[in-house]
């Protein structure tokens, strides 16, 4: 990589503790998703990563199973301090938000009888569904450039929806069967 | 959601852990894409929580700060209290963490190889289909409750259009949902 010299001069966390608190800080700012905050904190504010490195780590995190931002924390921590760094970043990302969300869950169980609270969460649930559908719609444009061809890619997306949402087939068969077929077709076309 | 959870037998806790362990490895494109299968397991198959509880678990995690994957802990908590949360969180994080550390050391330079590209190309359409399935399963309890269906559908539509057409933070739409719901409009 030609940017290696620049990388050597970039700031880096002084310790695993600093890593822990950096991820703690960015996780606590992430209402409705952490990714936009992670980009601002890690690339623009702390400059631990260049924009290109951020996208590279993220796209690798997206290929891997597991939550994208959690994978990002693991890989970045591992890069700086090995396993210790990976666990520090992961802990920083999850510990405080986990306590908060479980406290809210317990409080909600007590408060659900109050109509306003139950109603507010109903409203937030409808919005949560909308946010997920909007993400799906944004990503649909990537199907147009798919190596499978737009129609075949759209067909795979549609069959996935039907088998999982309407027929309620176990996900493992859908991913192994349908996913395996799609990967095999992509493999042949990539030659 | 009751604060008191019926004690789940150990066998069921292990089943819960095992199921989330398996889903963790299928979660290409984020944990949320496995939500339909979590729904199938804890709501449809075992009846441990209701569809409305499932939806509100995700809503609660999205409204709170932090990664959205924490909805997994909320579902576990609602099924079986602290042990349930431990089972679902550990099941979700262990396999993907181990795999991520392994791959980030071994495969960072192999992103452009044919195998990795075939893998991403093939699974992208599935990821999108799973996201739509997740949204659909979350909306369904609202549509079935006919007294609130219209308001809920309008709110979902506003959230979708707002996310696509504006650069506002999702936080504002979550806040709008809380306001509209709190006022009893949906």
Q: Is B59 on the interface with A (CB under 8 A)?
A: yes
pLDDT of residue A62: 65
Give the pLDDT confidence score for residue A2 in this predicted structure: 41
The reported pLDDT for the residue numbered B110 is 67
The answer, yes or no, to whether residue B4 has pLDDT greater than 70, is: no
Q: Is the pLDDT higher at A43 or at B77?
A: B77
**Which whole-number Å values give the CA distances from B165 to A48, A127, A138, A177, B162, in the listed order?**
31, 15, 11, 36, 5
Chain B interface includes A174 (CB < 8 A): yes
Q: Are B67 and A70 in contact (CB under 8 A)?
A: yes
- Contact between residue A157 and residue B132 where contact means Cβ atoms under 8 Å apart: yes
Would you state the pLDDT for residue A3?
43
Residue B146 has pLDDT above 80, yes or no: no
Q: Give the pLDDT confidence of B20-29 residue by residue, as tens digits.
A: 999 998 887 6
What percent of chain B is predicted at pLDDT more than 70? 93
Q: Do B121 and A93 touch (CB under 8 A)?
A: no
A141 at interface of B, judged by CB pairs closer than 8 A: no
- On whether any CB of chain A is under 8 Å from the CB of B124, the answer is yes
- The residue ranges of chain A whose pLDDT is under 70 are 1-9, 32-33, 36, 59-60, 62-63
Is B47 touching A (CB cutoff 8 A)?
no
Residue B89 has pLDDT above 90, yes or no: yes
Q: What is the pLDDT of residue A5?
A: 43
More confident residue, A168 or B146: A168
pLDDT of residue B107: 60
Mean pLDDT of chain B: 86
Point out the residue among B2, B56, B169 whose CB comes nearest to the CB of A121. B56
More confident residue, A54 or B16: B16
Q: Could you tell me the pLDDT band of residue B109, with boundaries at 50, 70 and 90?
A: low
Question: Which pTM does this prediction carry?
Answer: 0.80
Check if the beta carbon of residue A11 is closer than 8 Å to that of residue A46. Answer: yes
Cβ A119–B142 below 8 Å, yes or no?
A: no
Question: Which residue of chain A comes nearest to B152, CA vs CA?
Answer: A126
Q: Which residues pair with B85 in a beta bridge?
A: none
- Whether A136 and B131 lie within 8 Å, measured CB to CB: yes
Residues of chain B positioned with their CB less than 8 A from the CB of A121: 56, 59-60, 63, 178, 181
What Cα–Cα distance (Å) separates residue A189 from each residue in A139, A148, B162? 22, 8, 37
ipTM over 0.90: no
Measured over the CA atoms of residue B65, residue B183, residue A123 and residue A134, the dihedral's sign is negative
């Amino acid at each position: 990589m030609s940017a290696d010299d620049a990388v050597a001069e970039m700031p880096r966390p002084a310790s695993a503790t600093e890593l822990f608190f950096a991820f703690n800080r960015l996780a606590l700012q992430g209402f409705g998703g952490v990714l936009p905050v992670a980009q601002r904190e890690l690339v623009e504010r702390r400059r631990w990563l260049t924009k290109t490195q951020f996208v590279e780590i993220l796209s690798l995190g997206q290929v891997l199973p597991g939550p994208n931002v959690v994978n990002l924390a693991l890989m970045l921590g591992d890069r700086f301090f090995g396993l210790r760094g990976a666990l520090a970043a992961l802990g920083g990302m999850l510990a405080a938000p986990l306590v908060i969300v479980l406290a809210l869950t317990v409080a909600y169980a007590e408060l659900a009888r109050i109509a306003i609270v139950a109603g507010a969460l109903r409203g937030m649930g409808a919005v949560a569904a909308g946010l997920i559908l909007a993400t799906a719609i944004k990503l649909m444009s990537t199907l147009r450039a798919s190596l499978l061809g737009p129609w075949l890619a759209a067909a795979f997306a549609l069959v996935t929806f039907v088998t999982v949402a309407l027929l309620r087939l176990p996900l493992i068969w859908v991913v192994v069967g349908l996913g395996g077929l799609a990967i095999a077709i992509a493999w042949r076309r990539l030659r | 959601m009751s604060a008191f959870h019926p004690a789940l037998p150990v066998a069921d806790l292990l089943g819960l852990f095992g199921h989330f362990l398996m889903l963790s490895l299928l979660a290409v494109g984020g944990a949320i894409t496995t939500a339909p299968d979590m729904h199938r397991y804890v709501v449809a198959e075992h009846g441990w929580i209701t569809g409305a509880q499932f939806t509100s678990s995700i809503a609660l995690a999205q409204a709170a700060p932090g990664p959205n994957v924490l909805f997994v802990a909320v579902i576990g908590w609602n099924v079986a209290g602290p042990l349930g949360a431990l089972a679902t969180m550990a099941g979700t994080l262990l396999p993907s963490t181990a795999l991520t550390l392994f791959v980030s050391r071994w495969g960072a330079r192999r992103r452009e190889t044919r195998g990795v590209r075939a893998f991403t190309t093939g699974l992208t359409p599935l990821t999108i289909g799973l996201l739509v399935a997740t949204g659909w399963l979350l909306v369904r309890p609202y549509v079935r409750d006919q007294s609130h269906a219209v308001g809920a559908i309008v709110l979902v539509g506003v959230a979708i259009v707002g996310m696509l057409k504006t650069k506002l933070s999702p936080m504002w739409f979550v806040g709008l949902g809380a306001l509209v719901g709190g006022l009893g409009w949906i």
